[in-house]
Amino acid sequence: MTQIQKLLAALLLIITAACTPEEEPKLEVNAVDPPNSKLELEQFMKAGREAFQEFTFDAGAAQTITGAEGTIFTIPANAFEHPNGQAISGNVTLRLREMYSPGAMIFNNAGTVSKGQILNSGGSFELAIQQNGTDVRLAPNAQIGVGVPTDSMDANMELFAANTRDTNNQINWQAQDVNVADTTRDSTGTAIDSLYRFQLRSLFRFINCDYFNTDPRPLTEVTIQVGPNMTRTDTRVLVYLPSVNAMVPVYNFSSPNFLINGGYRLPVGINAVFIAINVDNLGVYNYAIQQNTVTQNHLEIMNFSSITKTQLIQLLNSL
């Protein structure tokens, strides 16, 4: 049994124990798309996100800041200025949201795709540095050192960043042509830490260590079948690839199927976790999480169960 399978089995036991027969909602879905389904899903995604971590400090003094999950920022003194070019004095606040787990990727709409291709991810985060609620920028020639924690250093990893989202509210990742696999070593060549390291020469809202997937295995289209009355509006579908830490959002929909094709086609033989979230016309939450090995022309039929909103947030954040 793989680690993902063990985790899913344990979470199923937690959910089963938490719901008595009287408390368990019934699965009721009909052909009428609820008028608030899109808003309901958007509110659900926001509810599942971790709050920003906030670090307030004197902009005139050098700082080293470490996030709860190990992201490190090395900030020189007098590194910031206002958008009009005036130097910053006084306190500034660094706001950080780390997005290293599958659940964090889901709730932050942080799919690891760019220009129609899948990205292998080494970890991403959202960053804002502000004074009195207004974003500042880096002063000329100032740089912020960044370290992103990793359990498995990959020499192919590069820096991707973005300030905007696309029409599906996914982060619009752009390659920055910066290699980040630079583990610090001592005089004997032994690794001191396992961090992807790079320098920020401008402040981006979203930052990711990634590279384009180059799996040599044949690629295949994938069909993900949901309920006959589910729609693109009330259903969210994603595929997580544990071996490369990739999260693929799926929006191509032809009832009752979500389709993966084009650059998002998956390698035959790769292990995938299929995730579907639905809110029916009664406001009941339904979900399916299934692990499978991708086969040629793969068809994944999602088997839904009902769950409370709170339990689903807990489940996804535990992935």
Inter-helix orientation angle 37-47/309-317, to 10°? 50
pTM of the model: 0.86
- pLDDT of residue 159 exceeding 80, the answer is yes
Domains annotated for the chain, with CATH where assigned, are: 3-30+215-317 (2.60.40.1120), 53-212 (2.60.220.30)
Confidence bin at 36 (pLDDT 50/70/90): confident
pLDDT at 179: 86
CA angle 204, 205, 206 (to 5 degrees): 95
Report the range of poorest mean pLDDT among 16-25, 29-38, 173-182, 298-307.
Answer: 16-25
Task: State both tokens at 282.
Answer: 């009664």
What are the start-end ranges of the E strands in 41-90?
53-58, 63-66, 72-75, 80-81
Q: pLDDT tens digit string along 215-235?
A: 999 999 999 999 999 999 999
**Residues paired with residue 80 on neighbouring β-strands, in sequence order:** 138
Confidence bin at 193 (pLDDT 50/70/90): low
Confidence bin at 29 (pLDDT 50/70/90): very low
Q: How far apart are alpha carbons 180 and 158 in whole angstroms?
A: 5
- pLDDT of residue 21 exceeding 70, the answer is no
Contact between 123 and 208 under an 8 Å Cβ cutoff? The reply is yes
